Amino acid sequence: MPLSFKHLTSTKQLLRRDTDAILQTAAEMEKVLLKGGNDLLAGKILASLFYEPSTRTRLSFETAMRRLGGEVISAEGIQFSSLYKGETVEDTMKVVGSYADIITMRHPEQGSADRAASVCPVPFINAGDGPGQHPTQALLDLFTIHKERGTIDGLKIAMAGDLRYGRTVHSLTFLLGLYKNLRFTFISPKELTMPDKVTTFLKEHDIPYEETHALSAGLVSDVLYMTRVQEERFADHSEYERLKDMYRLDAKMLKGKEVTVMHPLPRVGEIATDVDALKTAAYFRQAKNGVPVRMALLAMLLQAI
């Protein structure tokens, strides 16, 4: 099934038929990975432009392209690109779009993905625009939830930590709005509560949510999505130091609980390493799921399937 869009900049543009098709294709791509890949995208080139630090997103995109037989050209760090010289995002897209068949970009400025997509001559995928959106992370999160819980409809979803600046939880909440009978619990200090753009969306769609400071509220959910407090988003470093250790999940807290624990990674202390051995700790499986999901997106946007 063709997707309803050429460029992916936000989860808010996705339809339920899009997510159903992507999840189904990602499951098929897992089978491709078991066989070592194929040549579905042979002769195609992905431009991987990462102007903000990344490990999982960048490497999983590049792995996905290569597992499908394609090639990758890349740029990493604004200081090593023409953006450092003052070139606009728009001009970069026009140039790189003449070199590659598809582009993915991470950029520190919110809204940069929409600007890029507005002029990009080839399919464009937002790999994170500052505190804005991170749609492919949300899609791999959705794929993970479905694999771990067997469904998405009807779940109780808790999100904890930096909800104000965490683009992953914003993107995932918008995406989960496509599903039925969900309930959200948002856990954060008052300085890092979920922003109005998300809570207004939930109110407009009559999706129930509660806000609390207590991490214990997340332990009775089906999914507990932990996030780190993001040092790079704070103008005042002392404020970061005050808030960074607000929440810490350990194995003792999870004893007897069936909640699926997720995290977009990297973690910086909010999940103790003794949680890793628990069968409900899904965050490393979650990271692994980035490859088949991004394989699915690359193949679908390039209309190879």
Q: Alpha-carbon distance 249 to 275, whole Å?
A: 8
Contact 198, 10 (CB under 8 A): no
Catalytic residue, chosen from 35, 85, 237, 252, is 85
Angle between helices 290-301 and 16-34 in degrees, nearest 10: 110
What proportions of the chain, in percent to the nearest 5, are helix, strand and coil?
Answer: 45, 15, 40
56 is catalytic: yes
Q: Alpha-carbon distance 102 to 127, whole Å?
A: 13
Catalytic residue, chosen from 67, 134, 146, 244, is 134
288 is catalytic: no
Contact 285, 259 (CB under 8 A): no
Strand 223-226, strand 183-187: pairing: unpaired
CB count, 10 Å around CB of 12?
14
SS3 of residue 296 by DSSP: helix
Residue 249 DSSP symbol: B
Catalytic residue, chosen from 57, 185, 227, 260, is 57
Plot region of 126 (φ>0 → left; ψ -120 to 50 → alpha; else → beta): beta
Catalytic residue, chosen from 58, 106, 164, 170, is 106
Contact 135, 160 (CB under 8 A): no
Angle between helices 167-176 and 196-204 in degrees, nearest 10: 10
106 is catalytic: yes
Catalytic residue, chosen from 56, 94, 257, 288, is 56
Length of the chain, in residues:
305
Catalytic residue ranges: 56-57, 85, 106, 134
